[in-house]
Amino acid sequence: MNLLDIFLELLIVVIAVVSLVANSLVLLCFTCSAQVRAQVPAIFITNLSFCNILIAVLNMPSTLLGVVKQQKPFGDHFCYTVCFMDTFLTTNTMLSMAVLSIDRWIAVVFPLTYPSKMRLKNAALMVSYAWLHSLAFSLTPLLLSWVDYSPAYASCTVHLREDAESRGHFMVFTAVFHACTFALSLFILCFAYLKVLQVARFHCKRIDVITVQTLLLLVDIHPSVKQRCLLEQKKRRQRATKKICIFIGSFVLCFAPYVITRLTELAPSVKINRYWGIMSKCLVYSKAASDPFVYSLLRQQYKKALFGICNRILGRNLYTLSGDSSPSGMENECYSQRVNKLMEDNCH
């Protein structure tokens, strides 16, 4: 065993631990917080976290054993189960991210009709479709015996045996599978989030104009407050772009190398390097570890829910709002409130 094998083993262990802990915290927030449960996106985030936990419990340990033993870790029946769960859960997570982007698109572009379009019933139907879609593509290779241990990925996955005769059908299935999962999800993500970004930039420009007009009206405004307003103006323009780049960029970075590798290996003359195959698989696993931070744990509602859970455990109030209590800080805060009030009046 060389250093690269040890690195891959440690990487899988770290990803599995982070995935298990972070996604468990998301489910804990959903269970303990009524505010989180009341939000429609929480249904999609919960489904995403549930799939990520199963990946961390079932698929990552199987790949870890494959890296350690450099052979099929268990028998055929276990390998079939792992392959089914790998295809099902990965497809489900991709579709869950696409559904989350649709939810944000409707919320930002059609805010007035969002409550009627995105009810809990509609969310449940979208999650049900994601499960049925994933189930169809997971059962197909299992029924056609396109399941085996692949040394290139150290995993039980969709794989055609060398002595199999249905190579043409397998190539068609692989292309259709990745088109209906990765490509479809990426298209939905790009379409939805670019529409969101377009609306966000329009509102940012409108707020910028109102901010400048307000600052001109307040001739007695404190210089530090004016500087804070202009700084917030600049941050507001960058915030939406940064978030959308994270949503789309993390999806492409984690899934694209593995999908491209799977499509490349369809050529008979191409042999996938073992270390590259395992690394591309680790990138897919890393999405399960990053999803809780990208979609939930860094949001204010989930932070508040986590602090509330800590309060119950420790029996004290940990969630307090800190602020500057000095006279100058209070004065600046009063100026900020005046600016915000005038901005709201201008908006109306």
Give me 77's structure tokens.
């029946």
Model pLDDT for residues 2-40, shown as the tens digit of each residue: 888 899 999 999 999 999 999 999 999 999 988 898 889
Over residues 285-302, mean pLDDT: 92
The Cα–Cα gap between 106 and 112 comes to 9
**pLDDT number for residue 326:** 45
> What percentage of the chain exceeds 90 in pLDDT?
51
> Average pLDDT, stretch 98-110?
92
Q: Is the pLDDT of residue 263 over 50?
A: yes
d(CA 170, CA 258): 17
Burial class (CB in 10 A: 0-12, 13-18, 19+), 224: middle
Mean predicted lDDT score pLDDT of the chain: 84
- Residue range 3-347, CATH number: 1.20.1070.10
Domain boundaries, the chain: 3-347
Question: Are 91 and 181 contacting, i.e. CB atoms less than 8 angstroms apart?
Answer: yes
Instruction: Look up residue 3 and give its DSSP letter.
Output: H
pLDDT at 216 over 80: no
State the Rg of the chain over Cα.
Answer: 24
Phi (first) and psi of residue 42, to 5 degrees: -65, -30
Residue labelled with tokens 């939930």: 296
Tell me, yes or no, if the pTM score tops 0.85. Answer: no
Partners of residue 156 on adjacent β-strands: 149
Query: Which of 53-57, 186-190, 322-326 bottoms out in mean pLDDT, i.e. has the lowest?
Result: 322-326
